[in-house]
Structure 1
Amino acid sequence: MNRTRIIIADDHTLFADGLEQIVQSLDTFDVIGKVTDGKMLMQKLNTDVPDMILMDVNMPFLNGMEAAQKILSRFPKMKIIFISMYNNAQLTEQAKKMGAAGFIMKDVTAPVLKEAILNVNKGLTAFPVATAQVIVPGFPEEEDPFLLRYKLSPRELDILQLIKEGKASKQIAGILDLSVYTVETHRKNIHRKLHVQSTAELIALAHKMK
């Protein structure tokens, strides 16, 4: 019988160790590697290509969403299950749209997680029926720095990155081939979505966003 090879990507070592034990308890599954961030995961895939990846959403250097997009562009049939502390509708929908196979909360029971892994291995998906927002300890609802980036459009993220680098609206317009008016409109929308009042406040928040 063919065995299913799995890589675990999570920067919380104790959780990753527990996840490995759960996977190894399944008869035909093997954990072939554990990594702690998205960049390490991409490097690992240069030498070992698994059948499935169990991945945290919020990791250092290259977060799970960004890593998954890169992985699925290289390996369109890769089965990716996000295992996250964020019970967030925007993240779940983005995971579906990019082609991930599942999105599971970290607080599910071992039997639920096993069932999700087995179902995905059969070609099914494992997404929650309904997703609500969650308040992450230490941050007010809707203000977790990691989640804030998913309130912005790709163009707004491009502009935010250039603002973070100290570029003025005229410079941003030239770089992105936009009118200054369009850039200013995007800036206003970014301020509104992120609930900031000044450029200094925006830049400070941008440095916290992964």
Structure 2
Amino acid sequence: MIKVVIADHHPITVDGVSDLLRRTNEYKVVGKVYNGTYLKKCLYREHPDLLIIEITIPEISGFRSLRELIEEFPQTKIAIYSTHPEEIYALRSIKSGAAAYIPKTSTPEKFIKALNRIKTGGIFLNAEIAAAFHKHSGKDNSLIGRYRKLSAREIEVLDLLTNGKRNKDIASLLEINEKTVSTYKTRLLKKLKVNSLAELITQSRMLKHS
């Protein structure tokens, strides 16, 4: 089962999401937190596969905090479940490294659809927002075209990064040193025309499920 932590400052939201997931028999809620003070403790203790979080909760909020969580817990995918305006927050959430932006106005069916998309390694956005993301990503050159120019080794490194592996893990798996892994990361950022690891991972996930 997919291990899930839910973080929201509204207990009724946490309990509602927990009940919905319990009925799927595919997701197991291993943690419920209501503020940032206990969130990291919970993530370190439970090592969840998925974190469902409101973008603003006490003691931790905003895109900077989101990026910090992604850097600190790379193997935990993050779904933003929020009341904030989708047209303003969705793209920024995905570009910061989230795997989904799900409005709290979504139906239970759409909510589960989003989580299932994440489970298979994809990214979930509502259709209109996703189209805008692809349009933005396609500036200058086709993103797919840039991806096709990567070497076999660069694609290997990118896939491992996308799966949450750290430099040390990648070096061990590919039998290269960590400095070489860093060099590959720099090349990938340049070739795919992104500015951060979070953006790099986002682009990779979008490519695989476009």
Name the SS for the 1:99 alignment partner. Answer: coil
After superposition, the C-alpha distances for 1:123-164 in whole angstroms (9 at most, x for unaligned) are 111112235xxxxxxxxxxxxxxxxxxxxxxxxxxxxxxxxx
1:159 aligned residue: none
Tell me the TM-score normalised to structure 1 length.
0.58
Deviation at 1:64, TM superposition (A): 5.3
Deviation at 1:92, TM superposition (A): 1.4
Write the distance in 2 (CA, Å) between the matches of 1:50 and 1:105.
Answer: 22
Please tell me the root mean square deviation across aligned C-alpha atoms, in Å. Answer: 1.5
Structure 2 residue 2 is matched with structure 1 residue 4: yes
Partner amino acid, structure 2, of 1:115: K
1:98 aligned residue: 96
Q: Name which of 103, 109, 112 aligns with 1:111.
A: 109
Write the distance in 2 (CA, Å) between the matches of 1:46 and 1:120.
Answer: 21
5+ residue gaps in structure 2?
A: 130-210
5+ residue gaps in structure 1?
A: 132-210
Q: Name which of 69, 86, 89 aligns with 2:67.
A: 69
Q: Hey, which bits of structure 1, 4+ residues long, moved more than 6 A?
A: none
Q: Is the 8 A contact 1:53 1:80 kept in 2?
A: yes
Between Structure 1 and Structure 2, which shows a larger proportion of helix residues? 2
Q: Is the 8 A contact 2:9 2:57 kept in 1?
A: yes
1:128 aligned residue: 126
Identity among equivalent pairs (%): 24
Write the distance in 1 (CA, Å) between the matches of 2:107 and 2:14.
Answer: 15
Q: Is the 8 A contact 1:8 1:16 kept in 2?
A: yes
1:86 aligned residue: 84
Name the SS for the 2:15 alignment partner. Answer: helix
Partner amino acid, structure 1, of 2:78: I
Distance 1:77 1:98, change over 3 A: farther
Write the distance in 2 (CA, Å) between the matches of 1:98 and 1:54.
Answer: 15
Structure with bigger gyration radius: 1
Q: Is the 8 A contact 2:6 2:51 kept in 1?
A: yes
Deviation at 1:66, TM superposition (A): 3.8
Q: Is the 8 A contact 1:37 1:63 kept in 2?
A: no
Write the distance in 1 (CA, Å) between the matches of 2:7 and 2:74.
Answer: 18
